[in-house]
Amino acid sequence: MRFRLCLGLGLFACLAPPLSLPVPATAQTYGYQPANPRAAQERREREAAQKGSVIVAEPYGPSESLRQARAMTSALGRLKPERKGVVDVYVVAVGMDSDGVFGRETAEAARVLGSRYDAEGRVIVMANGKGANGTASDPVVPDGNPDHLAQALGHVAEVMNKQEDVLALFITTHGHWNTGLNYRDGERAGGNIAPARLAALLNEAGIKNRLVILSACFSGIFVPALQNESTITLTAASAEKPSFGCRAENDWTFFGDALMNQALRQPVPLPDAFAQARSLITKWEVASRLDPSSPQIDLGPQAIAWMDKIDAKVPKVAGQPKGMPAFGAPPPPPEKAKPAPFLTKP
């Protein structure tokens, strides 16, 4: 179960309000204001987490910084330009937590979307940890961090036809009902991307046609923020529910396996694939005696036109699932989240 929250950032919503002691009248008379800078900082960070992103990170060392810069430059440089008169799909797949399951799910989901939508040469994969293995010619996969996500969206916006082409954005990670998508890179970095922040990134990029797939607990909280006439949003769970299957050693989460690994490999339209995936997830949850995660789909009215065009690209022959199935292994017990560095008392 996705109760393992990176670096405790999910605690923002459930922590008691910062302690604010009243100032005695006598103290005010003498101009004394008792300082509580830590409480004020925590309050600012909590408010920021609910509105946008909070990132806490140790800087890369010189070698890793150079390696990441080269990896990102290579990934962006390989993107093919748009084709005039063709509705091209650009795939951006991001594993935002360093648990191996998210890297493996990211890498294979990118392959599924690339194959389904004829997007060869128009795919960017970014993931933390070692789950997403690079190719022999390009062994380094850029980290799946918020800065790289913003760079990828900006570059895709430059090479695509923003009025005609489609962005397929896939993100997999842990999630929280209040702060959104969790970001974790081992012990080096952690944070979150809230619904308002993800919506702002997409809006600032100016990409009109968007297929957004979020594989995370409570990811339904993103639906209202991402809604517009030309966006389709698929989420692993409703705003109130966790999703399942995210043990670090897994190849897939429940949602990733059911949707990406099975349903989207079939020659069926996107809404039908989602319905198949949701039905399969329900069977797994019932068999495992888990509360339903209630995956969500939201279709903008103008998105139907471009969806039909990209669904016409789907191969006529079904693909075969890859990796170990998500269903069958017992879910891990909930883990108590560790406090983030800036919430840890000295």
SS3 113: helix
Q: Could you give the CA distance from residue 183 to residue 6 in angstroms, rounded to a whole number?
A: 7
Q: Could you give the CA distance from residue 198 to residue 318 in angstroms, rounded to a whole number?
A: 33
Q: Please write the tens of the pLDDT for every residue from 286-309.
A: 999 999 999 999 999 999 999 999
Q: Which residue has the higher pLDDT, 203 or 54?
A: 203
β-pair partners for 95: 127, 172
Task: Name the burial class of residue 307, with classes exposed (0-12), middle (13-18) and buried (19+) by CB atoms within 10 angstroms of its CB.
Answer: buried
The pLDDT, as a whole number, for residue 39 is 63
Q: Which residues contact 333 (CB under 8 A, 6 or more apart)?
A: none
Q: Please write the tens of the pLDDT for every residue from 228-242.
A: 999 999 999 999 999
SS3 231: strand
The stretch 6-32 carries a mean pLDDT of 36
Cα angle: 215, vertex 161, 317; to 5 degrees: 55
Q: Could you give the CA distance from residue 198 to residue 92 in angstroms, rounded to a whole number?
A: 13
Report CA torsion sign: 331, 332, 337, 340: negative
Q: Could you give the CA distance from residue 115 to residue 316 in angstroms, rounded to a whole number?
A: 11
Distances (CA, A) of 9 to 153, 195, 198, 236: 25, 15, 17, 20
* 83 has a pLDDT exceeding 60: yes
β-pair partners for 215: 172
Note the maximum CA span of the chain.
81
Q: Could you give the CA distance from residue 11 to residue 17 in angstroms, rounded to a whole number?
A: 12
Place of tokens 């405790």: 8
Q: State what percent of residues in the chain have pLDDT above 90.
A: 71
Could you tell me whether strands 123-127 and 89-95 are parallel, antiparallel, or unpaired per DSSP bridges?
parallel
Tokens of 275: 């319905």
Complete domains list, the chain, with CATH: 6-13+43-343 (3.40.50.1460)
Q: Please write the tens of the pLDDT for every residue from 265-280.
A: 999 999 999 999 999 9
Taking a C-beta distance cutoff of 8 angstroms, is the pair 174, 2 a contact?
A: yes
Length of the chain: 346
Determine the distance from the C-alpha atom of residue 105 to the mean position of all C-alpha atoms in its chain, rounded to a whole number.
Answer: 11
Helical pair 146-159 and 62-77, crossing angle rounded to 10 deg: 30
SS3 264: helix
- Residue-by-residue DSSP string for 156-210: HHHHS-TTT-EEEEEEE--EETTTEEEEEETTTEEEEE-HHHHHHHHHHHT--EE
Q: Please write the tens of the pLDDT for every residue from 96-147.
A: 999 999 999 999 999 999 999 999 999 999 999 876 766 555 567 999 999 9
